[in-house]
Amino acid sequence: MGKGVILYRSKYGATAKYAEWLAEETGFDIMQTKEASVEKLSCYDTIVLGGGVYASGIAGIGFLRKNLKQLQGKRLAVFCAGASPYEEKAFQELYAHNFKDGLKGIPCFYCRGAWNEAAMSLPDRTLCHLLMKSVEKKEPDALEPWERALVSAAGKSCDWTDRSYLEPLIDFLKNG
């Protein structure tokens, strides 16, 4: 696997939990993206970025985009944590939205995260309530998987994090 580092950006804790589990499994160092710099990453062969999924964006992906030229020659991978269950079509749309231009081709792995409205910031909670209102207007059998997950989690605190979601990423890191 070489010498590696896990960079992460976590808003509510699920991505941080995955980053810590991944560090335990790989022996990689761990660092938040706000502490990272190209200079600090120069000694690593492998860089794994982890970020939560918010409004179809992956938190922290801007760090890779901004520093891609300086990170050439490094082995890169991304994992993201979202509240929705995995669904291939939604994941492909997420990938297409986040991995444009030079980022295209970087492997990305999905981990299911958590949902806790009480812990959300006011803007996030407001956006989720607005989204919920639009979803509630649809017929239940017409809901997308992520919409069903949203409806079932509303008003609850849910934690779907599980180490097993990291297995494909660990496999990739060990075997290429």
Question: What pLDDT, in 10s, does the model give residues 139-153?
Answer: 888 877 777 777 777
Query: For the whole model, what pTM was predicted?
Result: 0.87
pLDDT of residue 36: 95
Q: What is the distance between the alpha carbons of residues 132 and 17, in angstroms, rounded to a whole number? A: 27
Condensed to tens digits (0 to 9), the pLDDT of residues 98-127 reads 999 889 999 999 999 987 877 878 887 788
Condensed to tens digits (0 to 9), the pLDDT of residues 14-54 reads 999 999 999 999 999 999 999 999 999 999 999 999 999 98
Q: What is the distance between the alpha carbons of residues 58 and 169, in angstroms, rounded to a whole number? A: 17
Average pLDDT for 78-97: 93
Q: What is the distance between the alpha carbons of residues 170 and 119, in angstroms, rounded to a whole number? A: 30
Report the sign of the C-alpha dihedral through residues 35, 66, 63, 3, in that order.
Answer: negative
pLDDT band at 5 (very low <50, low <70, confident <90, very high): very high
At 120, the amino acid letter reads M
How would you classify the pairing of strands 157-159 and 114-116? antiparallel
At 84, the amino acid letter reads S
